[in-house]
C-alpha cells in the first residue's frame, strides 16, 4: 500500500506513550495507542526510574497499536542502565534529578578542565550529563559488576530485540562524543579513565536495530517480522526533526518538562564565549548540530501544581493572564531549580533575593513562571543567533507547551518575533518520520518538514510589541 504505519514509543519525564503514525505521500496522521504514567520512585539510595514499569507500558502499547511496519523508541537523554556479563540489568536506572552528582563536576575538572571538556565535546555544563553520573557511579559495587551500559531507549530496544547498540543523538548527551567527528571522544575518555567498551557500537537514526523477539511477538499478539528502527532516540532530537520550518533562519523551542531553545547548525560552536553562555552542541539528524540551551521549562509549573494539590490548569492560566506582566522574574536557566520539591517557596525566595515583589497567589506565581520562561526563551534565541552568527526570523515552538497559549504569546512578545506553535507531539512525529524515511516513505529532512507543515495544525502568534520591557526585565535579572 501507499501508506506506511509506524509505532513511536516516546517516553517523557512524567508519562510514556505509544503513538501510531501513518505516513503516505501527502498525508501524516498520528494517533495515540496507549499512554501510561512514568513515576520516579524515591528509595533509600535515591531517586530511580521504574524502567520495568516503562517496558511493561511499551508492551501494552505495542499490543494496542496492532500491526505496524516498524517500531522506534525515543526518551529523555543522559540516563542509562547497566548490565552484567550475562546481559541482565543491574538495578533501577538512576534519575537525572538524583543528588548523587552534587559536587562531582569538580572531580572531573581536576583531571580535564571545564574549558577543555567543552572544546572536546561541545556539551554545556549540567550536573546530570552522563559523564558526571558515571564519575559518581564508579565507586559503587554495582558499577564494579557492569559490563555494558545502555542508554534508556537502547535498553528498551535491547529488551525488545535482543540486540545492543548506542544511538548517536542520545550518545551525544553523554559528554563522551566529539561533535566534529560524530564519534566517541577517545582521547578524553582515556584521560578520564572511562572504558568506552562499556558502550555498545554506535548506530545512527534510520539504522536497523533488530526485530521483535518471538516472546515479544507472543506477548503483544503481533505477527513478525516486526523491525525496530533506530530513530533520533533523544526525544529532543526527534522533536527538532519535526520542526515544520521551511527556511534556514528559524529558531526552535521544544517545550515540555524542559524548554530546549536554540538553532539547528551544520557545525558545532565550541568557542569559550559559547561555553560561558552555556550552550550545548548535541547531535541531530543527518549530521546537524542542535545548538541549544536547557531552560527549566514547565517543570517549574508542574512542581508548583504538585505542591498546590493539582488545581485545574485552565482556570489558573486564565487568572495568570490577568496578573500584571513582568512584576517579578526568576532565572529559568538556573540549575538551582533542578531538584524536586518546595517549588513555590524556592521561586518566592529567588524573587526576594533579587529585590523583586514576591508572588503570593498561585496565579501570581504562575505568571512569574511564564514570564520567566518567555524571558529565558528570548535570551536563548538572541544568544544562539549571535554566537552562531545566524539570523532568526521566526521561532518555532513544538511540544507540550504549545497547548499553553499564554506561554506562546509571551514568547512571541519577548522575542519580538512571530511564533509558529505546533506540532504538540513533535517527538513522536519525528520518531515516526525517521522510520518512514528509513522505509522510503518520505524524502530528506526538508521533505519531512514540508510534509509536517502541510499536514499538522499550526497556530501563529504575532509579537504585540513592548520588547523594551522584556529587555528591561532581562537587565533586572542580570543585576540581581
Ligand atoms: C527533554 C530532555 C532534554 C535533556 C533532559 C534530560 O526531555 O531529553 O533534552 O537535557 O531531558 O535528559
Q: Are 369 and 404 in contact (CB under 8 A)?
A: no
3-class DSSP assignment, residue 18? strand
Contact 101, 35 (CB under 8 A): no
Our answer to whether residue 235 is catalytic in this structure is: yes
- Look at residue 128 in the predicted model and tell me its pLDDT: 97
Mutate to test the pocket of ligand 1, among 280, 281, 294, 425 (most ligand atoms within 8 A of CB): 294
Contacts of 368 (CB under 8 A, 6+ apart): 327, 328, 329, 330, 347, 351, 359
Which pLDDT does position 476 carry in this prediction?
86
Q: What confidence tier does 480 reach under pLDDT thresholds 50, 70, 90?
A: low
Residue ranges lining ligand 1, Cβ < 6 Å = 76-78, 96, 234-236, 257-258, 260, 294
261 close to 303: Cβ distance less than 8 angstroms: no
Express each pLDDT in 3-47 by its tens digit: 999 999 999 999 999 999 999 999 999 999 999 999 999 999 999
What is the chain's alpha carbon radius of gyration, rounded to the nearest angstrom?
21
Report d(CA 452, CA 433) in Å as an integer: 9
Number of CB atoms found within 10 A of residue 136's CB? 21
**Atom of ligand 1 at shortest range from CA of 78:** 12
* Cα 116 to ligand 1 centre (Å): 23
Distances (CA, A) of 330 to 24, 121, 258: 45, 29, 16
Cα of 230 to ligand 1 centre, how many Å?
18
- Choosing from 49, 76, 380 the residue with most ligand 1 atoms within 8 A of its CB, the one to mutate for a pocket test is 76
pLDDT for position 163: 98
Estimate to the nearest angstrom the gap between the alpha carbon of 322 and the chain centroid.
Answer: 31
H or E element in which residue 20 lies:
strand 15-24
Query: What count of other Cβ atoms lies within 10 Å of the Cβ of residue 76?
Result: 25
- Strands 250-255, 394-399: parallel, antiparallel or unpaired by DSSP? parallel
Q: Can you count the helices (H) and strands (E) in the chain?
A: 19, 21
Helix, strand and coil in the chain, % to nearest 5: 40, 20, 35
What number does the ligand 1 atom closest to the CA of 258 have?
1
| Stretch 149-165: mean pLDDT | 99
Of the residues 235, 331, 371, 413, which is catalytic?
Answer: 235
As for the ipTM of the complex, it is 0.98
- 287-303 mean pLDDT: 97
Closest ligand 1 atom, CA of 126?
10
**Interaxial angle between packed helices 445-455 and 426-438, expressed in degrees from 0 to 180 and rounded to the nearest 10:** 130
Amino acid at each position: 500500500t501507499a501508506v506506511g504505519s509506524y509505532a513511536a514509543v516516546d517516553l517523557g519525564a512524567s508519562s510514556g506513550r505509544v503513538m501510531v503514525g501513518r505516513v503516505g505521500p501527502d498525508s501524516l496522521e498520528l494517533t495515540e495507542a496507549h499512554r501510561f504514567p512514568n513515576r520516579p520512585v524515591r528509595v533509600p539510595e535515591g531517586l530511580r526510574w521504574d524502567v520495568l514499569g516503562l517496558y511493561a507500558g511499551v508492551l501494552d502499547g505495542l499490543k494496542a497499536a496492532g500491526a505496524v511496519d516498524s517500531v522506534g523508541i525515543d526518551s529523555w537523554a543522559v540516563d542509562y542502565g547497566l548490565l552484567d556479563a550475562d546481559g541482565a540489568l543491574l538495578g533501577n536506572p538512576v534519575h537525572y534529578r538524583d543528588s548523587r552528582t552534587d559536587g562531582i563536576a569538580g572531580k572531573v575538572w581536576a583531571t580535564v578542565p571545564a574549558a577543555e571538556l567543552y572544546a572536546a565535546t561541545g556539551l554545556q555544563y549540567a550536573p546530570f550529563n552522563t559523564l558526571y553520573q558515571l564519575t559518581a557511579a564508579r565507586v559503587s559495587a554495582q558499577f564494579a559488576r557492569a559490563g555494558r551500559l545502555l542508554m534508556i531507549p537502547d535498553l528498551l530496544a535491547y529488551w525488545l530485540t535482543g540486540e545492543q547498540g548506542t544511538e548517536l543523538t542520545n550518545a551525544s548527551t553523554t559528554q563522551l562524543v566529539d561533535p566534529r567527528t560524530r564519534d566517541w571522544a577517545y582521547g578524553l575518555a582515556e584521560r578520564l579513565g572511562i572504558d568506552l567498551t562499556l558502550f555498545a557500537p554506535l548506530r545512527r537514526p534510520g539504522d536497523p536495530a533488530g526485530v521483535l523477539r518471538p516472546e515479544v511477538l507472543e506477548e503483544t499478539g503481533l505477527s513478525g517480522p516486526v523491525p525496530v528502527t533506530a530513530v533520533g532516540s533523544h526525544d529532543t532530537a526527534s522533536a527538532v526533526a519535526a520542526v515544520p520550518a521551511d527556511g534556514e533562519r528559524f529558531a526552535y523551542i521544544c517545550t515540555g518538562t524542559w524548554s530546549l531553545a536554540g538553532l539547528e547548525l551544520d557545525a558545532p560552536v565550541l568557542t569559550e564565549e559559547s561555553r560561558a553562555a552555556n550552550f550545548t552542541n548535541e547531535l541531530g539528524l543527518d549530521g546537524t548540530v542542535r545548538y541549544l540551551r536547557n531552560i527549566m521549562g514547565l517543570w517549574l509549573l508542574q512542581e508548583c501544581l504538585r505542591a498546590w494539590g493539582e488545581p485545574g490548569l485552565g482556570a489558573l492560566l486564565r487568572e495568570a493572564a490577568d496578573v500584571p506582566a513582568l512584576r517579578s522574574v526568576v532565572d529559568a536557566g538556573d540549575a538551582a531549580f533542578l531538584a524536586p520539591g518546595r517549588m513555590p517557596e524556592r521561586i518566592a525566595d529567588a524573587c526576594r533575593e533579587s529585590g523583586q515583589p514576591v508572588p503570593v497567589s498561585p496565579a501570581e506565581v504562575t505568571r512569574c513562571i511564564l514570564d520567566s520562561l518567555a524571558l529565558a526563551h528570548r535570551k536563548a534565541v538572541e544568544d544562539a543567533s549571535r554566537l552562531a552568527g545566524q539570523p532568526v526570523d521566526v521561532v518555532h515552538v513544538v511540544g507540550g507547551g504549545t497547548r499553553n497559549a499564554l506561554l506562546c504569546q509571551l514568547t512571541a512578545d519577548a522575542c519580538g518575533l512571530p511564533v509558529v506553535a505546533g506540532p504538540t507531539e513533535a517527538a513522536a512525529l519525528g520518531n515516526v518520520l525517521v522510520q518512514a524515511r528509513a522505509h522510503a516513505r518520505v524524502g530528506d529532512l526538508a521533505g519531512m518538514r514540508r510534509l509536517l507543515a502541510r499536514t499538522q495544525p499550526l497556530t501563529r502568534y504575532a509579537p504585540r510589541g513592548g520588547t523594551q520591557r522584556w529587555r528591561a526585565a532581562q537587565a533586572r535579572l542580570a543585576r540581581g
